[in-house]
């Protein structure tokens, strides 16, 4: 992106003043090198988002922003239903409630070393991953309804987890306002055999080592100790979320003219929050959030089972579970006035600051854990929400590194087999059903996640707590 198009406010904040059809400014949080490396499309897309009806304060782009569908990935936008605000399927994305869950193991990484090959094999055996994989359960219609309404709590009711897991999950594991009746038969059929599956693409399961602590106090509150082993799970609402995204995007595109909404880009398709289509989408999207929460809960159970086989003394506790493709109703302040706003976070993580009432008591003094995924060869990060994050970005932060290179280019540049060998030489074990899939997800195909989290901290979106390094990676 050409920085001369933007007005620089600080080292990590840039602004596009309202022009044309923009109703509010656009604010980009990034350092100069990240801005220079950002797609030009992000400029176009964030300007388009700033033009949507009912948008509040500004349209925001996180430091990892890149070209998305309608909204940029790394886009945040708040809409007021009392100001003709809209909800957008593209503003949530196809993989509804894709997110990251981090598990503590209570073990030092050194304890894993003698059994790391056995642990990698056990995880790969127990957690279904990749194209065509199937979960443990074949859901009946009534089970589907229960899962869509009750999320991770439904998984617990089947024995997949313990009550403490829910306390460490956004929404306590159950997204309120889900409407299973708004989920089509097509979406249900895609999910019947996919519960507890990892998926493919950039989704992964990683065993990691806590390699660096930046902030000892929140790290201690989170249970993170230097050199301990932790487990990250990155996946979403699987086929169900994809189908809901596809269907509502189609319907919103078709009905946009009837709402009098002028769409500069079809994928910006949206509907008034207070319309039958908007309400149906919100009900279905919340059901998909429950699907994702249940999915990560079942995978947690499978990870515990794999660990129990290899390391029977491990006690895996959920540190936290965040979703980074959502639209949620939240109280925020705009120009000093309290409002109930629909916050779209597309490739952005909620980052409530210390004292937020939605946080569990044990995390209330530190702020919300913000879990940032890396690649199978680079670091991941744990951050925490700041007192400033509400004022700066409606309590939102980045979500990952963001791609630098297309899949096509990556598969031409690297061989999956060679990558596995190179990573093994660095002590990282890879398990995957597809060598081409590994090549497409090569660490070099992604941007520098460290630069992204440094920019997020500099902008006041969240602060760094710990850095994690991969030891074992299961790729779909």
Partner 1 sequence: MTQVEDSGARWEHFPHGADIGIRGIGPSQAQAFEQTALALTAVLTDPSLVLPRRRIAIHCEAAGPEALLVQWLNSLVYEMAVRRMIFGRFEVHLAGSALDAEAWGEQVDVPRHQPAVEVKGATYTSLFVGRSPNGAWVAQCVVDV
Where on the chain is the footprint of partner 1 (CB under 8 A)?
39, 41, 66-69, 73, 94-95, 130-132, 134, 186, 189-190, 199-201, 239, 242-243, 245-246, 249-250, 253-254, 266-267, 402-403, 406-409, 411, 433-437, 440, 476
Nearer to partner 1, 132 or 336 (CB): 132
Kindly tell me which of 70 and 369 has the beta carbon lying closer to partner 1. 70
Beta bridge partners of 473: 206, 430
Phi and psi of 40, rounded to 5°? Answer: -60, -25
In angstroms, the CA 198 to CA 235 distance is 6
Catalytic residue among 301, 399, 408, 426: 399
User: What's the closest the beta carbon of residue 207 comes to partner 1, in angstroms?
Assistant: 23
| CA 384 from centre of chain | 15
Nearer to partner 1, 246 or 458 (CB): 246
Residues whose CB falls within 8 Å of the CB of residue 435, separated by 6 or more in sequence, listed in order: 415, 416, 417, 420
Name the residue nearer to partner 1 (CB basis): 59 or 240.
240
Tokens of residue 337, six digits? 């006035």
Minimum CB separation of residue 96 from partner 1 in Å reads 10
CA distance 332 to 313: 44
Q: Name residues whose C-beta falls within 8 Å of residue 294's C-beta, 6 or more positions apart in sequence.
A: 147, 150, 151, 152, 154, 155, 195
State how far the Cα of 37 lies from the Cα of 32, in Å rounded to an integer: 9
List, in sequence order, every beta strand (DSSP E) within 290-357: 317-323, 325-334, 337-346, 349-350
Cβ(319)–Cβ(168) below 8 Å? yes
Nearer to partner 1, 54 or 68 (CB): 68
Q: Least CB distance from residue 346 to partner 1, whole Å?
A: 12
* Residue 50 C-beta: closest distance to partner 1, Å: 20
Q: Would you say 240 or 341 has its CB closer to partner 1?
A: 240
Q: How far is the CB of 67 from partner 1 (least distance, A)?
A: 4
**Min dist. Cβ of residue 23 to partner 1 (A):** 23
Could you tell me the sign of the dihedral formed by the alpha carbons of 190, 192, 195, 197, in that order? negative
| DSSP codes, 44-109 | HHHHHHTTSTTB-S-EEEEEEEE--SSSPEEEEEEE-GGGT-EEESTTT-SSTT-EEEEEEEEEEH
CA dist 381 and 89 (Å) reads 28
Active site annotation includes 227: no
Nearer to partner 1, 65 or 221 (CB): 65
* Least distance (Å) between residue 253 CB and partner 1: 7
CA 449 to chain centre: 15
- State the DSSP code for 294: H
Give the catalytic positions in this structure: 399
């Amino acid at each position: 992106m050409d920085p001369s198009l933007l007005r620089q406010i600080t080292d990590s904040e840039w602004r596009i003043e309202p022009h044309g059809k923009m109703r509010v400014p656009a604010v980009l949080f990034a350092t100069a090198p990240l801005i220079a490396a950002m797609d030009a499309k992000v400029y176009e897309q964030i300007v388009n988002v700033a033009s949507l009806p009912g948008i509040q304060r500004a349209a925001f782009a996180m430091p990892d922003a890149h070209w998305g569908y309608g909204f940029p990935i790394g886009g945040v936008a708040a809409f007021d239903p009392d100001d003709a605000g809209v909800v957008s399927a593209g503003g949530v994305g196809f993989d509804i409630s894709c997110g990251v869950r981090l598990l503590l193991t209570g073990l030092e990484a050194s304890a894993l070393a003698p059994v790391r090959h056995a642990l990698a094999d056990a995880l790969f055996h127990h957690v279904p991953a990749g194209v065509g994989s199937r979960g443990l359960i074949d859901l009946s219609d009534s089970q589907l309804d229960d899962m869509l309404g009750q999320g991770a709590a439904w998984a617990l009711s089947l024995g997949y987890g313990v009550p403490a897991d829910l306390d460490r999950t956004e929404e306590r594991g159950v997204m309120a306002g889900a409407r299973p009746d708004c989920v089509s038969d097509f979406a249900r059929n895609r999910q019947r055999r996919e519960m507890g599956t990892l998926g493919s693409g950039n989704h992964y399961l990683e065993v990691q080592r806590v390699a660096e602590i930046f902030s000892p106090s929140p790290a201690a509150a989170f249970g993170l100790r230097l050199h301990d082993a932790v487990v990250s799970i990155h996946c979403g609402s699987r086929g169900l979320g994809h189908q809901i995204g596809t269907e509502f995007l189609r319907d919103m595109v078709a009905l946009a003219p009837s709402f009098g909404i002028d769409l500069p880009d079809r994928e910006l398709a949206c509907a008034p929050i207070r319309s039958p289509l908007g309400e149906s989408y919100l009900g279905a999207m919340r059901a998909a959030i429950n699907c994702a929460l249940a999915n990560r809960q079942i995978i947690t159970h499978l990870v515990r089972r794999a660990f129990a086989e290899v390391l029977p003394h491990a006690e895996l506790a959920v540190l936290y579970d965040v979703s980074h493709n959502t639209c949620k109703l939240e109280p925020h302040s705009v120009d000093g006035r309290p409002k109930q706003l629909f916050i779209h976070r597309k490739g952005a993580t909620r980052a409530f600051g210390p004292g937020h009432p939605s946080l569990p008591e044990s995390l209330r003094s530190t702020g919300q854990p913000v879990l940032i995924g890396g690649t199978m060869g680079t670091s991941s990060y744990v951050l925490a929400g700041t007192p400033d994050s509400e004022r700066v970005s409606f309590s939102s932060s980045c979500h990952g590194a963001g791609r630098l290179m297309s899949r096509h280019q990556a598969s031409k540049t690297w061989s999956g087999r060679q990558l596995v060998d190179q990573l093994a030489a660095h002590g990282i074990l890879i398990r995957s059903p597809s060598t081409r899939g590994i090549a497409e997800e090569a660490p070099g195909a992604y941007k520098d996640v460290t630069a992204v989290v440094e920019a997020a901290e500099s902008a006041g979106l969240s602060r760094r707590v710990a850095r994690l390094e991969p030891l074992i990676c299961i790729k779909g």
